Amino acid sequence: MKLRYLGDHKNQIKLETPLYLSKVQAGFPSPADDYMDKRLDLTEKLIKHPAATFYCRVSGNSMEGVGIFDGDLLIVDRAVTPQNGNVVVAVVDGDMTCKLLDTINKNLLSANEKFPPIKIGEDVECLIEGVVIHSIRSHVCTG
């Protein structure tokens, strides 16, 4: 899995959109409430540490088992302390990758059985850039 760095998060103006009281049914359709609860600022919900947050785009399928797919946008927070089991962005021997952090066995793990673990040892240069806090996928058909 390759990642393309898209840049750091910059504080921008708030973009508030309506948040409705009713939930959207994913099964049998039901009438939606016309009552708006409040306005929702996605930046406020998704970004906890703006100065430490960056974005990158996923290329590859090694993390499909945790719901990260080719083309997804990752929001990565450098201020979150990486812990065992976190999805992280790491630089391994100069290449940026997204993997599951296994601190017990000192590995970076794929979420796809077709990809072997990456052993973190003295012979591998590895730097954890940050913890993936959100992934965003577009559901728009382009073809």
Active site (annotated) includes residue 110:
no
Distances (CA, A) of 103 to 87, 107, 108, 120: 12, 7, 8, 9
Distance between terminal CA atoms of the chain? Answer: 24
CA–CA separation, 82 and 117 (whole Å): 18
Of the candidates 62, 110, 119, 138, the residue annotated as catalytic is 62
Q: Which of 99, 110, 114, 119 is catalytic?
A: 99
Could you confirm whether 138 is annotated as catalytic?
no
The answer to whether residues 40 and 108 touch, using CB atoms and an 8 Å cutoff, is no
3-state class (DSSP) for residue 122: coil
Residues annotated as part of the active site: 62, 99
